[in-house]
Structure 1
Amino acid sequence: MIKPASLKLIDPQREIIDQNDNFAYVVPCKDLRQWVSNFTLSFPDETMISDNYTVMPHGSVTLVYYHNDTGLHDRLFGPMTEPKVVGDIANKCQFIFIVEFQPAGFYPFSECQQSELVNGIYSFSSINPLIDTEIRQILAMEKSAEQVFSRVERLLLDNLGVTCPEVLTRAVALISQSQGRILLKAVVETLSYSDRQLNRFFNQYLGLSMKGFARVVRLNHSLRYLNDPRKTVATICDELGYYDTAHYAKDFKLICGVTPLNYRQNLSDFYNEVAKFSSYT
């Protein structure tokens, strides 16, 4: 089983997003970044994660392996457009290993209609039993965090299936780079594809419609801004193009289940993505 001390021995050449004695958020190798945004390895406890700990929606698939008193388990979270409370499970684990996929990044490992997975929770073995078995063996055998990261990277690269069309990659880039503010009509005109064609690609390979994805991107930039105490809600509204603070608060609560103020007052109870959209911005 992986040793917590190995978090201090991660390859110095590897890009680390954040790290302490209990966790590490790392970026995958360059060849994998189009599909995977980051890996997370953590050794949580009840003081580190509250029962209310909630993952905020980010429109992408997340694969989680966790080891507790009953053994090793997995959960595959489909593309998320709503928050998920995970703290009551996470704080009782010996370790948690997470693969966060990029938008449309999970399709090559499932080759199923991604819209069918939205907001669902599945067993990865029912979708890709080969990769699931290999990851379980890696987590059971390896004692080093770096070896886990390296072996899972190689496994995913060796099992890449059909990837998404180039036009979808370009559409995701346009939406991400605009922080979700671009008019969808402008996306259609820029790419010379019909709205219907693009939405078919979005639903098949990413899981959300163009409008739904743009909304999630805008929300995630909002979350990042709320994490900065120097930014007022009015400033955030202005930077993200909301009509006014009332409209922003209503939209935020509709997606997240809490108001921007509630979120800001309880930051430690929420997780928002740390590296998503990085291959596009």
Structure 2
Amino acid sequence: MVTNDFCINTYRGITSKNMMNQTYFMPHPMLRQYIANYTLLYSTSTYTEVADTTPEDLIIIPDASGCFIFGFDNWGAYKNCWGPTSKPVKVKKNNLLKDERMFFIEFLPGGLSMLTGVEQKELKDMHCTISDISRKLAMILSDVIQSADGIDHLVSEVDRILLSWIENNSRKQLNITSAIHKIRLSRGNISIKRLAESEYISERHLRRLFEREIGLSVKMFARLTRLNNSLRVYKSNRNRSDLNMLQDGFFDESHFIRDFKEFCGTTPQSFIKNMSGFYNEPFKY
């Protein structure tokens, strides 16, 4: 079972700069085109109940990908799945109870499809249990997470399971993987026509591929890529008072404000004033 000692006795983790009880782990190299990272989040409370009964809301910025969430505490366990997101998701911040542990498998766009074979348009912005997708996979992963004797052992076992399931998934992703890479390289600024021509397929077929494997349209995915890349560049720069830096990669200010409000649920000015209230995965873009 995951304990505090379990969390800290490892050299492979990357501790979050903002949350000391949140640690990231990289998957096996052969999984890195499907899995962004694993995350271990554990309670630091020494009391049965959290002192602050009304924790802040945290806005998760959509990233066109999904995640598996395994949670364990003294009362039981849960196994949840978020499908690929196109809308901001509001969650509670720092509200773990005593001895509660959470283990996340963070997918890259298309990774959840490659693992499960489920068409992603069915899971878009959907919250369900992992058992709803695959009872067998949910059971295997849950057993490993609960029985592992350390985080290095846990990561290795999860790697092994995911590699085996992806290898056994006969559906191929060659076209979509290449197209995703090109959208990323262009920072979301490539036309559907040019992208389809570079893949030697029709625009119609490209759209079908994205809806099946990503769950979003090509245009929506490109817009999310552009925004997440802009946020990454902005956060990495020390001069965060310059609002123009957030517009990096956008055609004009009107497109930037429209996308920002749609995907972050607020204005750029409000975002800058309350950056701690927003979260986007550090290893996806």
TM-score (norm 2): 0.87
Deviations 1:191-217 (A, max 9, x none): 221110011111111111111110111
Hey, what does 2:79 align to over in structure 1? Answer: 74
SS at match of 1:37: strand
Hey, what does 1:206 align to over in structure 2? Answer: 214
Paired AA for residue 86 in structure 2: T
**1:6, distance to aligned residue in structure 2 (A):** 3.0
Hey, what does 1:27 align to over in structure 2? Answer: 26
User: Which runs of structure 2 are paired with 1:143-154 in the superposition (5 Å)?
Assistant: 143-154=149-160
Deviations 1:202-255 (A, max 9, x none): 111111111111011111112223424414221332x313312x4412320122
Residue 125 of structure 2 corresponds to residue 119 of structure 1: yes
**Contact residue 54 and residue 271 of structure 1 kept, 8 A:** yes
Partner residue of 2:139 out of 133, 138, 146: 133
Structure 1 residues 265 and 163: alpha-carbon distance in aligned structure 2, compared to 1, 3 A threshold: farther
**1:37, distance to aligned residue in structure 2 (A):** 0.8
Structure 1 window deviating more from structure 2 (262-271 vs 208-217): it is 262-271
5+ residue gaps in structure 1?
none
Hey, what does 1:241 align to over in structure 2? Answer: 250
Aligned-residue sequence identity (percent) comes to: 27
SS at match of 1:86: strand
SS at match of 1:159: helix
CA distance in 2, matches of 1:208, 1:39: 23
SS at match of 2:111: coil
Partner residue of 2:275 out of 240, 263, 267: 267
Count of residues in Structure 1 that have an aligned counterpart in Structure 2: 273
Structure 1 window deviating more from structure 2 (15-24 vs 131-140): it is 15-24
**Contact residue 87 and residue 262 of structure 2 kept, 8 A:** no
Residue 76 of structure 2 corresponds to residue 91 of structure 1: no
Deviations 1:24-68 (A, max 9, x none): 111101011121110000114568994302211000011111124
CA distance in 1, matches of 2:91, 2:154: 23
**Contact residue 55 and residue 94 of structure 2 kept, 8 A:** no
Structure 1 residues 275 and 88: alpha-carbon distance in aligned structure 2, compared to 1, 3 A threshold: closer
**Contact residue 37 and residue 102 of structure 1 kept, 8 A:** yes
TM-score (norm 1): 0.88
